[in-house]
Structure 1
Amino acid sequence: MAPRAAGLTTPAFVEHWRTTHSVAAGRIPGLRRYTQFHPVLVDGRLPLPYPGFDACSLLQFDSLETMDAGFSSDVYRDEVMPNEAVLVDKSRFSLFLGDARISSGIPGGTVVLVTLLRRHPALSAEEFSAALDGPWSAWSGGHEQYVSVGTGRGGRQTDVADAVDVRAFDDPGQALTWLTDEEQGVATDVAMAGLGLVVGRVLARTFQVV
């Protein structure tokens, strides 16, 4: 997750990200899945508060070792990094490293609501993980969760969140209605009170690269 580089408009940023950058990043060795979350605009504007980033991508590998090898490869160093330099502001780059919990996979072209959650300080990582299996996870559509790997990440950047939740909707209007409905999204957030804190949300459309 990173803000776009200075001088790039949102449309120009998304076009470069979807084309030139996706071709380079899609060639990282060991990459099993690569999904970009393109921001959805309503009446030309973001419908939710700016989350602190413009680029938000999901890259999946079979293991941490495979991931580390991919990001140490010539492809990443010689092709992806130079492209990132003109696309995003890497000085304000954030990341999240987690294990996948996929209830129902979300295909490309789908409208999604991406929620970043921080574990409440009163909870252990194990208690927080269990809470994510409760009412928060009840969902009938496409749904993917990613929970921070937590300990054992020596030398790696600290995660921007403790969990990331991705839910699929038919269209942006349905997502926004769900989010503000007292018996739907609001009730779901209330169920997490004292367990998890929402630290950011983005309404996006998935673009499947790999």
Structure 2
Amino acid sequence: MKVRVGLLNKRTDFTVEQFRSHWISVHGALVSQLPRLRRYEQNHVIHVPQGGSGFKTGTDSVDGFSELHFDHDDDMREALATRVAQSMVANEANFLERVRVVTVERSEVVAPPASGPFNKRISLVRRRSDISLDDFVREWQGVHAQLIASIPGVIGYRQNLIVGRQSPKGKDVDYDKFPLDGLVELWFADAEAPTAAFASREGKKALVHTGMIAGEITTFPVEPINIV
């Protein structure tokens, strides 16, 4: 399964409500017509203070994350070469100021709940500058995955290793131009749960290990909406 994740920034003259309405009703309807699309999820960022680990954060700002799922690379390429995809791109200028895209390899460490209520967070992860990519991946997918999964209150956990970058959308760039290594999805029962989770013995242990491999983690609370 290949997952293409869009990092979206709304037009500055759009309110959150206008952005949300256009993304769901207009753009969502276009994307849902893509051939060979297996799943399409919108994650709307909730702009409220977010409790949690207290780990050093970056300065990145995002208003939404899109997730397009395909079975294979060929399916994804063929879908993005269609007229439907061209209509999608044309429509993006109507409500978006910036679109960046990452292609990820997904690892589901703790299967998330099928339905709510729950609190979902998406985090952008950048490795420490003195850590190689191979060392980061080994530690992140090995020891770190086990530590996060052991934290009380974690009811869903996915790691998404970034293997392709476009900034802006359609322009392939290297790591230096788009320095992100991973995208994390975490689920908790409610908005208060993350603070208690990372204050636990297991949470503190996970944070110590986080500092060994990560330089920045920027977290966004989101509301996921399944379109397809």
Picking from 73, 83, 91, the partner of 2:91 is 83
1:209 matched to 2:222? The reply is no
The alpha-carbon deviation at position 53 of structure 1 amounts to 1.5
Please name the residue that 1:128 is paired with.
136
TM-score (norm 2): 0.76
Gaps of 5+ in 1: none
Which residue number corresponds to residue 34 of structure 1? 40
Query: How has the CA–CA distance of structure 1 residues 88 and 150 changed in structure 2, closer, same or farther, with 3 Å as cutoff?
Result: closer
Match of 1:171 in 2: 190
Q: Find the counterpart in structure 2 of residue 60 from structure 1.
A: 69
Post-superposition shift, 1:51? 4.0
Give the secondary-structure state (helix, strand or coil) at the position aligned to 2:130.
coil
Once the two structures are superposed, the pairs formed by residues 177-196 of structure 1 within 5 Å of their partners are: 177-178=196-197, 181=199, 183=201, 185=203, 187-196=205-214
Matched residue type, 1:116: L
Q: Which residue of 2 aligns with 1:14?
A: 20
In structure 1, what is the equivalent of residue 119 of structure 2? 111
Q: Say if 1:190 and 1:136 are closer, same or farther in 2 by CA, change over 3 A.
A: farther
Q: Structure 1 residues 61 and 157 mapped into 2: Cα distance closer, same or farther (>3 Å)?
A: farther
Aligned counterpart for 1:69 among listed residues 62, 78, 99:
78
C-alpha contact (below 8 Å) 1:117/1:164 kept by paired residues: yes
| 2-structure distance, mates of 1:190, 1:107 | 31
Distance 1:88 1:101 in 2: 29
Query: In 2 relative to 1, CA 107–172 (structure 1 residues): closer, same or farther, beyond 3 Å?
Result: same
Q: What is the distance in 1 between the residues matched to 2:10 and 2:130?
A: 35
- For residue 158 of structure 2, the aligned residue among 144, 147, 160 is 144
Q: CA offsets per residue over residues 131-185 of structure 1, 9 Å max, x none?
A: 112134432512111102269xxx7234552111101112222235435x36465
Higher strand share: 2
> Structure 1 CA distance, aligned partners of 2:161 and 2:107?
8
Post-superposition shift, 1:100? Answer: 0.8
Structure 1 vs Structure 2: percent identity of aligned residues?
A: 20
SS at match of 1:97: strand
The number of residues matched between the two structures is: 199
In structure 2, runs of 5+ residues without a counterpart are 1-6, 51-56, 166-170
Superposition deviation, residue 120 in structure 1: 2.0
Please, what is the CA RMSD of the aligned residues? 2.6
User: How far off its partner does 1:101 sit?
Assistant: 0.5
Distance, in Å, in 1 between the alignment partners of 2:113 and 2:102 is 19
Distance of 1:77 and 1:62 partners within structure 2: 21
Q: Is the 8 A contact 2:126 2:181 kept in 1?
A: yes
What TM-score do the two structures reach when normalised by structure 1? Answer: 0.81
